[in-house]
Amino acid sequence: MTTVRITCAEAIIRYLIAQRIEIDGQEQPLFPGVMGIFGHGNVTSLGHSLEQHRDEIPVYRGQNEQGMGLAAAAFAKATRRRQILICTSSVGPGATNMVTAAGVAMANRLPVLFISGDTFSSRLPDPVLQQVEHFGSPSTSVNDAFRPVVRYWDRITDPAQVLSSLPHLVGMMLDPAECGPAFLGLPQDVAAKAYDYPTEFFTKRVRTVPRSRADEEDLATAAHLIRSSKRPVVIAGGGVHYSLAEHVLAAVAQRHGLPVVETVAGKSSLLATHPSYSGPLGVTGAAAANAVVTQADLVIAVGTRLQDFTTGSWTLFSSDTQFVSINAARFDALKHGAVAVVGDARETLDELSTLLDDWRTTDEWAAHAAKCRTDLDEFISDRIADDGALPLSYAQVVGAVHRVAADDDYVLTAAGGLPGELNINWKSKGVATFDCEYGFSCMGYEISGAWGAAMARPQAQTFALVGDGSYLMLNSDIYASILSGHKFILVVCDNAGFAVIERLQVGQGGNSYNNMLRDSVGPGSDVRVDFRAHAAAMGAHAAEVSTLNELADALIVARTHKRTSVIVVKVRESDWTEGGAFWQVGVPEVSDLETVKAARSSMDSALLAQRRGV
């Protein structure tokens, strides 16, 4: 056995560079880049190795560690989990800044590799700069904060450990059933240590994403339930995208007359023009799509974890509705007493269709779903139409962006009021062209995520829509995108506050407080941010518009720019596209406000329809 004596940090970088993946018949790097902010703990060893391999694995300079992680999560989604970015930070605040981004990746089942510096394994220099000491647990560092928000966690305390850790880490991130973020803590002295590694450890390996096959008996049971149903509906989740199952889903739905509704993560599984498409469901979905689901006697859930916004906190379905759940992860497939069909979405749908043969749902049910779809189209047309009033509504802004977007362009948002507006009013023109981070609902994802998506999809335009609140939370990746040359178009919707949370606050009987700038404590509540000037100061092309015509013109001009463009538009404080599903929140049982008491009574009444898990 031949060996090479290199540092632990060098071994990590060489191994990651050697990992390749086949995408559309072409060999690509599994880890095509690094998001990095260097500091003590990662600059002298890991940073040195990255510089030595700069032609093989580029490092993109982040502006904020959380933003780097969010960009990496969005990149993973845009590549449909076929490529993975690495995020590296120093020990201390650099590491803890990434914990939120790890939570986003964990909730959304997205692969991101986080590598943070750590304190010295020897402990001889303790306490080092930025070290948080734990008196009764000296081996604990702030990197332990990653444990709840990653699928794989390891601290390398000996250089030989990477021979075991790295293959397990990569295998987990490529496994559809276990996929999620991974973390490596790299103590400063261990990163610098040399070790005699087997040269074969660094041999190129071309990987593919495995496709598990469902059990034959489970498939037969599912096929029997579908054949026996009168009003079946398919819920398409994010797993449809990660399995690359969109075209199979489209064919199966059309062959068997199955109406298909989409979750937020599954949106753009079908084109909006597909005859089986019935719209987005749930709290941020459309009433017309929810009407299909509430009358269904069988739900075929494909690649969804059935989050509360999808299920209306489990009030959307009748108590006797049956579930067939197709999922690569057994944990998700078993939820709510479903007939669990554990396997790859694409292969399972194809095998189910073969078992169903020439079976189709009833003409009456198909006609009902089609009528709901027509109702949805008319509803959207009304919402996005120019009513002559200013400022514009969120829905009108969405419609304007939709009109200029090409079929393969990508649209992205997160948190706040925009998820509901986009989920309902955006009619998908291309497959896998939509990203709404609503698993962790992380404000700040919009700008960083757009940077990551633009990096993943250089062949098309990325549009991101962000509220003023999220913009103020995390905006520095506007500059990161300019620095790295990954252009996107950002539309800033300014309604002077956290308006959608104020909607929830007031809607559940409370008084408006601390959400809108107008009711914030302090003498500066009348001061407004000049978002156009701020974006321009970071090097973006920037414009501010008021009318739909001005917005349309600005979007067309922004497409011609070679670097990131920001368009600012004031929007109405309270003009929301209603969904039509209940959402359970914690309304006080007792209060001095009659409005809160009424809201609690309404909540309790709605909960009578909630499924109890079986």
Per-residue pLDDT of 209-251, as tens digits, reads 999 999 999 999 999 999 999 999 999 999 999 999 999 999 9
User: Between the CA of residue 105 and those of 76, 191, 477, 519, 545, what are the distances in Å?
Assistant: 9, 26, 18, 34, 34
Average pLDDT, the chain: 97
Amino acid letter, residue 42 = N
Pick the last residue of a domain from 176, 207, 238. 207
Contact 463, 436 (CB under 8 A): no
Pick the last residue of a domain from 207, 242, 267. 207
197 and 58, same structural domain? yes
Pick the last residue of a domain from 187, 207, 227. 207
Residue 614's pLDDT band (cuts 50, 70, 90): low
Residue 525's pLDDT band (cuts 50, 70, 90): confident
Q: Which two tokens stand for residue 64?
A: 């904020």
Residue 604 lies in a domain: no
Using CA atoms, how far apart are residues 581 and 288, in angstroms rounded to an integer?
11
Using CA atoms, how far apart are residues 82 and 449, in angstroms rounded to an integer?
17
State residue 108's pLDDT score.
98
412 and 315, same structural domain? no
| pLDDT tens digits along 404-435 | 999 999 999 999 999 999 999 999 999 999 99
265 and 311, same structural domain? yes
Q: Which two tokens stand for residue 23?
A: 């995408």
390 and 365, same structural domain? no
How many domains would you assign to the chain? 3
193 and 48, same structural domain? yes
- b/e per residue, 122-132, with b = 16+ CB within 10 A? eeeeeebebbe
Domain range spanning residue 431? 385-570
Query: What are the strands, taking DSSP E only, across 454-606?
Result: 462-467, 489-494, 541-545, 565-570
223 and 197, same structural domain? no
192 and 64, same structural domain? yes
Whether the model pTM is above 0.85:
yes
Query: Comparing C-alpha atoms, which of 474, 485, 539, 450 is closest to residue 63?
Result: 474
State residue 553's pLDDT score.
98
Residue 599 lies in a domain: no
Q: Which two tokens stand for residue 39?
A: 């500091």
Residue 541 DSSP symbol: E
223 and 156, same structural domain? no
Using CA atoms, how far apart are residues 592 and 400, in angstroms rounded to an integer?
44
Can you tell me the mean pLDDT for 347-368? 97
171 and 305, same structural domain? no
Say if residue 210 is preceded by a cis peptide, omega within 30 of 0: no
Residue 144 lies in a domain: yes
Given a cut of 80, whether residue 613 has pLDDT beyond it is no
| pLDDT tens digits along 569-604 | 999 999 999 988 999 999 999 999 999 999 999 999
Q: What share of the chain in percent tops pLDDT 90?
A: 97
Q: Which two tokens stand for residue 239?
A: 């797993």
The answer for residues whose C-beta is within 8 angstroms of residue 21's C-beta and 6 or more apart is: 27, 28, 29, 30, 82, 83, 174, 206, 207, 208, 209
Q: What is the CATH number of the domain that holds 534?
A: 3.40.50.970
State residue 579's pLDDT score.
86
Question: Is residue 578 packed enough to be buried (19+ CB in 10 Å), middle (13-18) or exposed (0-12)?
Answer: exposed
436 and 333, same structural domain? no
73 and 103, same structural domain? yes
Using CA atoms, how far apart are residues 106 and 182, in angstroms rounded to an integer?
9
